[in-house]
Structure 1
Amino acid sequence: MAEGEEEVNYASVVFKAGNNPQPAAKRGEETVYGELKVQNETKNEAKRGEETVYGEVEAQNETKNEDSAGRRRFQHLSCCLGILCVILLGGIIGVCVYLPTLSHESDPIQLEEVSTLLANNKKLSLENANLKRDNQNLTDQLGNLTEAYTVSESNVKSLSAGVKELTTRNQELETEKKNLKQQIQNMETTWNELNVSRAQWSIDEYCKQPGNQTCKACQDGWKHTESGCYVYNDAHLPNQKTWEEAQEDCRGKNSDLAVAHHLEEKEAIITNSLGSNGFWIGLRVEDGKWKWVDGSNLSDSSWIVPPADGRCALFFKDRNKWSSVSCGATHQWICQKKALSV
């Protein structure tokens, strides 16, 4: 009975290796209980129990052999890894010892090449910095140019609007010009009609006089010379006039202040003059020049002093030169108009 318990207890270990989930103590009790029942009933079953125990022992031995083979494989792998670590450590130590020796034993040419490469690297670094700075400058310039372009584009738009406005204004001026031309043509027509009426009036004035059927070259009160007809307005103060007022008075008589384009006309004014007082003639300063009332320039500058703004010419009978006086002064005046051809 004691020997049977040892075999049964041993068999409980075999059940553990076979992944039996029941506890070992409980399996031992069940096995002992089974063996006791087998011995009380029949010896044949005891024999089968012995064979079962033998098989279980044999399975346990095989399991132990497999565990021993696995441990040996792990031991071999650990030895290989240890050897590899030792070899790597030796290689590292050798490289550390060899590199300083190689550095000291390097070829001078290689050292020079290294120095050259370092110098070139430094130079390239400087050039790279310069290029970055230039790139930044160009970027800033581009920004400025873009801003200037925007301003220029705005100015162009403004100028375009101005051109359009000027074009419209020019068209309006063209229309006004056409209207003025038409008005001028109408005025010329009216002027021609007035000239015809004036001519008729002149004929009546010069020719149709009571008791005289002949025509005269000048109206009564006007002195005739080869240059035309003259009237000397020898008014006394306060009836004397400024240059402008004298010109208006002459216009009212279908004439102008006296003009002397050449020496004969100058002599004619002197010949028919009277008294010693000064008389306005049709010469005054315009645009820095002496000009006659008909728009022509003075032909002989020796007849009067150089021009000055606001000055008009005054004639004196006993003087060879004309005087330059203020146009606002009051004096007597001479009117002139063409003589009638008879």
Structure 2
Amino acid sequence: MAAIYSNVKYKNRGKKEEDEPSKGSLAISDDIIYSEVHIVQSDQTNTQTAPDADLSHPNLPGPQDPADSSPETVTPGWAKERLLLRSLCAILFVVGLIITVLYLGNISHKETEKDGTIKKLKTDLKEKNETIKKLKTDLKEKNENNTKLQGENDKLIKEKDAIIKQFQTDLKEKNYTNTKLQEENDKLIKDKEELIRQLKEKEGKQSCNPTAQNVDEVCCAEGWKYFMGKCYYFSTDEKTWTASRDACLAVGGDLVIINTPEEENFIKKLNNDEYYWIGLTDAVKEGDWRWLDGTKLSTTSIHQYYTWKRGNCGLMQLTTDTYYLRNTLCNNVNYRKFKRVCEAKASI
């Protein structure tokens, strides 16, 4: 009986991909599978001897001479077995070739997918790094903006505190002024009530007699002085020029208007050397000093005058022939106040 042996060898040739040398993946080239098949016949042969054959017949096969090296005669059965074995080997070869191609293709596909995944991961990582970088830049800008806004907010708070403090100071001053004005108003009301009371007491008494010894009491209210048909009041309290005029008006008079040298001498004879508000002002036109009745201050009169560049209201120092003209502060309750000379018509 003959024995057949098959020896199959596979050879794989490949090359590295040029675009990604670091991957180490192989690209399958054409004609990369080779096979070798060897069929070896056994030294023993199967001979069939007919039991009735004549061994001496020249056409019949006889016992083979061991020295005879001629091949054994192949019968149809053996040929069919050999063909079957060769077909089986070919099928196995084809199956192995297909498996090898599929395996290598699968490896190549997986490598390609892996490369694509790595490339996508690298792209995503780059995008994330850029996003992080942008976020850091935005955060830095926001921190700078927050610092700037905080500085502006602190500045606004300081300014607001300063405004509130100034407002409180102004409010305190206004409250103080209102308090003072209220006190002065209350006093004026009391003075007015007192003068009204005095006038009522004089009703029915004798008329004004300039020659009477008690002419001040007969012709004027209590505390007033009589001169040439007028009564004059020299206050002991001090007020602003505006408040002094209001006080004079409240009792039926006004700040004194000096029309004659005689009237001026009468006013100055008190010899108390003090300053008194008089009815002189340049509030209508700066530098144009006039009395309250509109009469212009005479520059040719016997008395001299000069200006304090601080206000619009006139003062007179008794016992002198000088008017002190002030250019401001006629109604400043926080500045120095002065006494006043009121003038009213005498009772007839």
TM-score interval, normalised by the smaller of the two chains: 0.3 to 0.5
Question: As a proportion of its length, which structure holds more helix?
Answer: 1
